[in-house]
């Protein structure tokens, strides 16, 4: 996951320079499930989620969800 640096840079550019308002963020990375990186990935995701709450659409909470695979995201999104 690179501790979400690329993801943060992309969303920071979109929200600060392009004035995009976020409704939700969905992250997909196989590293979120690995034992070796689980604690640091969870910590990074919590910090990441907190950072973008101020840029949320109409001041509503901006949910940040993570998935191990695109297939898992697809399954979740079709519920």
Predicted confidence at residue 49, as pLDDT, reads: 86
Average pLDDT over residues 24-31: 86
Query: What would the pLDDT profile of 40-50 be if each residue is shown by its tens digit?
Result: 888 888 888 88
Structure token pair of residue 21? 């308002």
- Reading phi first (left if > 0) and then psi (alpha if -120 to 50, else beta), residue 2 is in left
On the 0-12 / 13-18 / 19+ scale of CB atoms within 10 A, 65 is middle
The distance of Cα 27 from the centroid of its chain, to the nearest Å, equals 5
pLDDT value at residue 4: 84
pLDDT value, residue 44: 84
């Amino acid at each position: 996951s690179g501790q979400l640096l690329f993801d943060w840079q992309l969303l920071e550019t979109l929200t600060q320079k392009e004035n995009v308002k976020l409704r939700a963020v969905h992250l997909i990375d196989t590293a979120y499930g690995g034992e070796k990186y689980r604690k640091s990935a969870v910590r990074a995701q919590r910090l990441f989620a907190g950072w973008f709450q101020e840029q949320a659409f109409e001041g509503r909470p901006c949910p940040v969800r993570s998935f191990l695979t695109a297939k898992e995201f697809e399954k979740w999104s079709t519920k």
